[in-house]
Amino acid sequence: MSSTTAPSVSTSASLRRRSLGVLAAVAACVAIWLLGALGGADYAVRSPGQPELVVNLVPVVVVSLGAALLGWMALALLERFTGQRATTIWFSLVMAATLLSFAPLLQVDATPGAKIALGAMHLAVPAVLVAQLPEHDH
């Protein structure tokens, strides 16, 4: 009976840690956005052929939450299907996705303050997820 209790405790702790990791990734982006706004960053971005878009707090929350949940889902699937290699594969995917996420940022016209803040958000989500989602050996 105790053998079934231990995994559920571990699973519960893992679920809690990962949920908090997702929330921490979103909170980090919100904090960066707020610091940028308080510092005077103009979050209006312009893409060629597109109307100006102001990156307010709603898309920051939605996109960072979506990215964090996708990261969690990818790790969970890899753990299920690739076993011990899951974290290594997932980390490689995180690095690739992070690098690719900068492509649109490099192509838009925005103030330096906005680009710095948005770039920091692009780094905050993967940094928090890498620190919080994988199981770490103790």
Whether the pLDDT of residue 82 is over 60: the answer is yes
Residue 7 has pLDDT above 50, yes or no: no
Q: What average pLDDT does the structure give for the chain?
A: 91
Task: Evaluate whether 52 touches 46 at the Cβ level (below 8 Å).
Answer: yes
**Cβ proximity of 18 and 79 under 8 Å:** no
Q: What is the pLDDT of residue 64?
A: 98
- Mean pLDDT within 82-100: 97
Encoded tokens for 71: 């990261």
What's the average model confidence in pLDDT over 37-41?
Answer: 95
Sign of CA dihedral 51, 52, 58, 64: positive
Q: How confident is the model at residue 3 (pLDDT cuts 50, 70, 90)?
A: very low
Lowest mean pLDDT among 51-55, 74-78, 133-137: 133-137
**Residue 88 DSSP SS3:** helix
Residue 122: both structure tokens together? 């692009």
Q: What angle do CA 19, 16, 121 make, to 5 degrees?
A: 30
Q: Which is nearest to 98 in space by CA: 131, 72, 121?
A: 121
pLDDT tens per residue across span 94-115: 999 999 999 999 999 999 999 9
**Interatomic CA distance for residues 13 and 70, integer angstroms:** 20
Q: According to the model, what pLDDT value does residue 11 have?
A: 84
* Alpha-carbon gap, residue 128 to 95, rounded angstroms: 13
